[in-house]
A and B are shown apart, each in its own frame.
Chain A
């Protein structure tokens, strides 16, 4: 309960993920929490939750928020080209080309008769 109150008072810590709380927050909050779980059975039943309705969901974040001008996820220029990826891409390209070549033969014979003269 004590850590919960401390978090609501300190804005950057309120939404911090659990893994970051030790890095961001006070030095002893995790320790206190752990001690509290072991010493108080009631606290173990009700873990560290904020008041109902006040917790921010990840969906409640505004979608059109201004984002930093940074490179987006697949950093292709940073990656060394791998043989397996190159073979995979070229395999698909050649497969599509072969399929188009095969299907175009009967289509060409059919429509050349119809549109030839």
Chain B
């Protein structure tokens, strides 16, 4: 079985990234855990994707004006980015600061928002909130462009408090009042977008944020007990000082990276699964002056993170991107990426088009009879394709190790997919299956097929659905 170092590294890379091949895990393990965490937390030190090459071959990526085009691009990034945590954090914020293509109908504009998450998503929380508040896709999605000084629209103001920065409540009490919502909305009046150029005949143009001073309510406001002539940036400055903001981010980070938690509507009355862990992240938030990387560092280096193995159901994006990283397909531009990207949608996560502003419910809610079948069919199709480089690598490695005993084959296949473990009953079933398939002769064509079958059976297990 894989060493403890490899098992821990597999856990880290599944959570802080989209998984890794066994060869990559060996390299990471040789560097040491904290060094790898440091590397993950410093994405700008790793090369970005070469966009000129990608736009040359995926010609539609230079324009990126349709949802499906953007979804393919996002999928490619998740499969290939050498800055996996940056990509994971982009997905994290996308699931919280939701905008949907069903309303925006402008894929590139949402892509710009995701680019902003890539740039700011691991830095200062107030800066991120400010960028979000002037993001044209958000301004449009939550109707802040329809909020006027003499007729406020509460939508953005409410969600900023409820779903983006504080949450309805914690420890059994409310975090804000209805009056706070109204005052918040007043402070953001005049934060709007310029009138857009219509899509016909030459396609969409990026929208532009505009501050309309004539439509801003300059009057006195009282928010969270403080009074002044607040503008939107003053509101953000007050929000980030609240204990509720620290709690809000800490719980989201815990749910996304550590272990499945109850969904956000339950947070007011349901205490965190691990209050001590949440407290450590809250402390890091305040001690670092609201720095997200400081929270991530505390989290990844903690024992409670390291010990939370397979405590999370993989999201569809993690399932698809993680499997593609293992089979090493689409590592360079080639036709046929769209159906791979669509698998994420079919498994219940229509990226850049979440069901509501609350985003996707996670954990067990990812799984139903339909999405489970999608997961198993997709992952088994990939693992059964012995022409894919990653599958070939696994077969080649087992061959070179001369592994020919059924039990050892199953164990080594589990290692290769990321140091998984199976309940004894399931493992015995796999061992029996391969035993009945005939003798194992490493290096033969038949051996490759037998290994692929074991890989297919492993990805079809309940255990593979967990990260």
Q: Do A and B come from one complex?
A: no
